[in-house]
Structure 1
């Protein structure tokens, strides 16, 4: 084998390895959060990109850690959804008053209603929840079991879908603190801020329109006077 052939073979092998690494990384079930701030309300989206060795995915079971008490699953038109509650080791006080909370959602189970997710096709499952008030760098793990027509895969250990916490957000927006507010409070505050921004934009555009109009009228008057002076 001459040097040119060896160099070509090495380049091809290197290219194949470079392409294989991201493909392998993308093959895992992953979790992406709309917010990673400790204690914040977020939407965690789980992506399932393939089946089990070619077999269609029928059920996706997401386990929730003990640090998360409440979760709201997002409806997926192609899947039914159920939650399984488990008892808490110790009851906790409700932030809204009333009786202490004695159980939590331990699992969210999505079951296909269309005959399964074909291998090679991707789907997502979103959960609305509050992240724990941990330290920066803490990892919140969500073990996922992917049950297929034939076989199953459990994503745990090094492959577990997870969210890494960042610094808590304490600033307020529209008078509502995100660290101690409910999702409805945050949504209302965001809507109020959005309405204010729209109003400011409308006023600014109105003022600019008046200014442009004045400039146009002034230019027309000057043009007429100049034409009269020439005549």
Structure 2
């Protein structure tokens, strides 16, 4: 009958623990509704892409309601294949909400995106604008609207709001016509092909990367301790 020695148990525990931490942290960090880019210049026209790859506790997504902050001079939602869109309040000025409703529920585990073009006001330089998103699902909903308190790590939030950091204005604010032409052309091409355009995944959270690396280091450290103890006992 084979026996598992304490040294082997410790070795297995250290390696498995490190691997689980390395894998689990990036998965948890990526289970959010994100916005890209996360930084834009004041006074510029910027195309914001909101992405998600999950539902509500496994339930398929039916709609995204994006609350728009103050500090926007214009808002232009893009027509997305597979989605209908409504701009709430646009008839009386700048929209306060953009509601995207899926033609068919987006199953959990599939990535999808919606896009809005905004013009950031000149006086928003140095501010961080929040774009809370209510994710509605076949069963339940998740309100991605949490904001970190002063001194709180935003990565500790369960449902953080997507954020855009506004940098100082530049000489080149971006051409309104060029952005609209690019946006309209992309939407037209996608509709003509009968396909939903897919963007590259957002970059991994740097904090998640560091924590994942820490998990691997923990596993390696456990292995080193086991080997050192084994040599000490033999001597």
The reply to whether TM is greater than 0.5 is yes
Q: Which runs of 5+ in 1 are unaligned?
A: 88-101, 171-176, 189-231
Rg larger in 1 or in 2? 1
Computed over aligned residues only, the root mean square deviation of the Cα atoms, in angstroms, reads: 2.3
- What TM-score comes out, normalization by structure 1 length? 0.65
Indicate if the aligned counterparts of 2:39 and 2:164 stay in contact, CA closer than 8 A. no
Q: How does 1:123-162 map to 2 (within 5 A)?
A: 123-133=112-122, 134-136=124-126, 138-158=127-147, 159-162=160-163
Greater length-normalized contact order (CA 8 Å, ≥ 6 residues apart) = 2
* CA displacement, residues 44-89 of structure 1 (integer Å, 9 cap, x when unaligned): 00001111111110011111002124211111110100110179xx
State the SS of the aligned residue for 1:126.
strand
Partner residue in 2 for 1:184: 177
Indicate if the aligned counterparts of 2:132 and 2:162 stay in contact, CA closer than 8 A. yes
Q: Which runs of 5+ in 2 are unaligned?
A: 148-159, 182-235
Partner residue in 1 for 2:97: 107
- What TM-score comes out, normalization by structure 2 length? 0.64
Supply the distance in 2 between the matched residues of 1:185 and 1:118 (Cα, whole angstroms): 34
Supply the distance in 1 between the matched residues of 2:180 and 2:85 (Cα, whole angstroms): 24
State the SS of the aligned residue for 1:147.
strand
* CA displacement, residues 86-144 of structure 1 (integer Å, 9 cap, x when unaligned): 79xxxxxxxxxxxxxx6320000011112x001110100110111233233x2111000
Partner residue in 1 for 2:53: 49
